[in-house]
Amino acid sequence: MTFQRSPARLAFALCLITFAVNLQAPLYTAYAELSGKGVAATAVAFSAYVVGVVPVLLLLGGLADRIGRRPLIIIALVLSMLATTLMLVAPGLETLGFARLLLGAGTALASATGTAYMSELMHEHDSRHAATWVTASTSLGFGLGAAMTSLYLMRESTLIPGSFYLHLLLASLALLAVWRLPDPHDNTQNPWLRLPCYPTGSLVYGLAILLAWACVGLVIALLPSILKQHGMAHWSGFSTFCVISCGLLFQPLARRMAPARSTLLGLIVLPCSYALLTWGANSGQLFAVLLGTVAASSACYGFIYLGGLSAVTALAGAEKARAHAGFFLLAYTGFSLPVIFTGLLVDRLGASQSLWVFGLALLAGCLIAGQALLRSNKPLAAPDTAPVKLP
């Protein structure tokens, strides 16, 4: 019975690890004002995340095969709790940068081993089933933290909202749950230092998730300051929730599609939804912003995320951990670096022009990735496995 509950325990832990990542998002503008900094500095602090992500995914892709899966999930949980504690003790833009570095390292550890661990706990060869559990739990976590912080801020303007304490409580429970998980992987002969890999045919899915999460990073890091200009600062957490967690609603549909078809659909939806949310942000139309973020989420955390991760898992063979590291390396690169560039543009050109420049680059990238998918051998082949149920 304990083993049957193991996937749910792992999903709970993954949700709490990602819960911490955007927990502070609605406070970015407040941190910047407290530190006397602008949009570009906020983008740099936000993008410190990639400083934690890249070394882990580049250098430690084989660590899970060396020491097992469970220790990495435990370390990731501890790092998320440490980051939240730092923001409780010393709120500010400088602390935010260091906290996001820790969050990047923790999330990278969880990303590199989460799907492989879930597959092992399920004792199944159906990689799409494991990917469904992982994408569902992480999509919910990434957005839920920001939404909870916004709820607390609507009650009281503070730099230390109750959502921080809530995360520490729930993460402690997740730590206890993971501590009792079995660890089916016991191969200690593999080297711990192994670079990420990109199995044949997988690189285009990495490009697609890079574009998708670049859009998400911009919404999280830069949209709050734009919404504040229209008196809607407290809605920034809900925009973060919509652009991430609402993708969960579209995962059942994505699951029933071939990975390439799902990814291609996401690449079509992404630039259209970005245009809507950008128009809404520039004109102060909250409904358009929220509708645009929900539509973007269908691509970023629905069609592209689940389709891409399922495809990479199927193509990886025995190198799942390294292939997942390569996939998420591109994802988190998109999540951070384009945000810095756009933040610099905002300080120089203003928000409106900068958002449209980013949109043109996004459209060009989607066209390139879409053409690459269409040129692949079997881009719209039927899925190899039967549809599976969400957890």
What is the CATH number for 227? Answer: 1.20.1250.20
Burial of residue 297 (CB within 10 Å: 0-12, 13-18, 19+) is: buried
Please check whether residue 319 lies inside any domain of the structure. Answer: yes
What's the rounded mean pLDDT across residues 235-263? 88
What's the rounded mean pLDDT across residues 268-296? 92
Q: Tell me how many domains the chain contains.
A: 1
> Tell me, what's the pLDDT at 171?
96
Question: Which residue range is the domain that position 47 belongs to?
Answer: 6-375
Does an H or E element contain 361, and which?
helix 351-375
Q: For residue 12, what are the β-bridge partners? A: none
State both tokens at 144. Answer: 């839920």
> Tell me, what's the pLDDT at 176?
93
What's the rounded mean pLDDT across residues 7-34? 90
> Tell me, what's the pLDDT at 66?
67
Of 64, 69, 305, 329, which Cα lies nearest the Cα of 197?
329
Please check whether residue 388 lies inside any domain of the structure. Answer: no
CB atoms closer than 10 angstroms to residue 348: 10
Model pLDDT for residues 310-337, shown as the tens digit of each residue: 898 888 877 776 787 788 889 888 888 8
User: Do the beta carbons of residue 257 and residue 268 sit within 8 Å?
Assistant: no
User: Do the beta carbons of residue 264 and residue 280 sit within 8 Å?
Assistant: no
3-state DSSP percent of the chain in helix, strand and coil, to 5? 80, 0, 20
> Tell me, what's the pLDDT at 189?
58
Distance CA 250, CA 265 (A): 12
What's the rounded mean pLDDT across residues 33-50? 83
Distance CA 208, CA 365 (A): 8
Q: Which of 77-81, 126-130, 321-325, 387-391 has the lowest mean pLDDT?
A: 387-391
User: Is pLDDT above 60 for 390?
Assistant: no
With cut-offs at 50, 70 and 90, classify the pLDDT of residue 387: very low
Q: For the chain, what is the mean pLDDT?
A: 84
Distance CA 313, CA 321 (A): 9
Please check whether residue 391 lies inside any domain of the structure. Answer: no
With cut-offs at 50, 70 and 90, classify the pLDDT of residue 64: low
Length of the chain: 391
User: Is pLDDT above 70 for 389?
Assistant: no
Please check whether residue 166 lies inside any domain of the structure. Answer: yes
User: Is pLDDT above 90 for 297?
Assistant: yes
Percent of the chain beyond pLDDT 90? Answer: 36
In sequence order, the 6+-apart residues with CB closer than 8 A to the CB of 285 are 279
What's the rounded mean pLDDT across residues 335-350? 83
The Cα angle at residue 219 between residues 215 and 328, in degrees rounded to 5: 45
State both tokens at 308. Answer: 């891409």
> Tell me, what's the pLDDT at 296?
94
Which of 42-56, 79-93, 213-227, 277-291 is the most confident on average? 79-93
User: Is pLDDT above 90 for 369?
Assistant: yes
Model pLDDT for residues 218-248, shown as the tens digit of each residue: 888 888 878 888 888 778 888 888 888 888 8
> Tell me, what's the pLDDT at 165?
96
Distance CA 173, CA 9 (A): 10
pTM of the full structure: 0.79
Distance CA 216, CA 298 (A): 11
Please check whether residue 381 lies inside any domain of the structure. Answer: no
Model pLDDT for residues 74-117, shown as the tens digit of each residue: 999 999 999 999 999 999 999 999 999 999 999 888 877 887 78
Please check whether residue 226 lies inside any domain of the structure. Answer: yes
Please check whether residue 384 lies inside any domain of the structure. Answer: no
Distance CA 160, CA 34 (A): 13
Please check whether residue 389 lies inside any domain of the structure. Answer: no
